[in-house]
Amino acid sequence: MARFPAYLQQLEMESNGKSVDLSGTRVGYETAPVVFGEPGTNGQHAFFQMLHQGTTIVPIDFLVAARPSNADAAHHNLLFANCLAQSQALMQGRTIEVVRERLRAQNMSPAAIDSLAPHKVFEGNRPSSTFLYKKMTPRVLGQLIALYEHKVFVQGVVWNINSFDQWGVELGKELANTLTPIVADAGRSTEAFDSSTAGLIAAARAYR
């Protein structure tokens, strides 16, 4: 599961990262989201600050097992509680009134409360879905893969885009074929390239 977010990145962004529909007409709506994630508290201490208080609302999926596979039971309970706490915090948030009341209970001065309170407000109402399963097994992993693959396929149908081509990736491969001999041979000219690419090649040659 540690690598599951990476799989979902490939599944969603490579499949549905399109800007034209099946007829070749530019779409007038957002298609694939940017997908990222990390297991357990790695994610909590990496990007959850943005999810809670950032200016962009990002939907999040929590995948959690009720029973640990191999981990210590007490440690698993702690991680499980953190999962539930994060989803609860995203949903409920914390109002300025509650923040001020809690700060007053800490005997802070009115001036200190006025200064600190806005930073501790959480808007809440940030969307998340929690997928709870009994225990991570090969069957459960297969079910999760099937769920997300079906989701991506249905989104492609709704958005009227082709989820099964990757022309953006193909462009990069095509350009790489042209660049490879230039990168490998310091004597080759870079005049045919744009100034940014030529400058990077020159800098790399200098480093080498």
Cα angle value 161/24/19 (rounded, 5°): 55
Annotation marks residue 101 as catalytic: no
Cα angle value 7/8/14 (rounded, 5°): 95
Annotation marks residue 170 as catalytic: no
**Residue given tokens 């991570």 in the structure block:** 136
Could you tell me which residues come within 8 angstroms of residue 37 by beta carbon, excluding any fewer than 6 positions away? 4, 5, 8, 43, 61
Catalytic one of 12, 14, 149, 191: 14
Catalytic one of 151, 173, 174, 191: 173
Report how far residue 9's alpha carbon sits from residue 3's, in angstroms, rounded to the nearest whole number: 10
| Total count of residues recorded for the chain | 208
Annotation marks residue 191 as catalytic: no
Report how far residue 180's alpha carbon sits from residue 63's, in angstroms, rounded to the nearest whole number: 41
Catalytic one of 38, 45, 75, 101: 45
Active site residues: 14, 45, 173
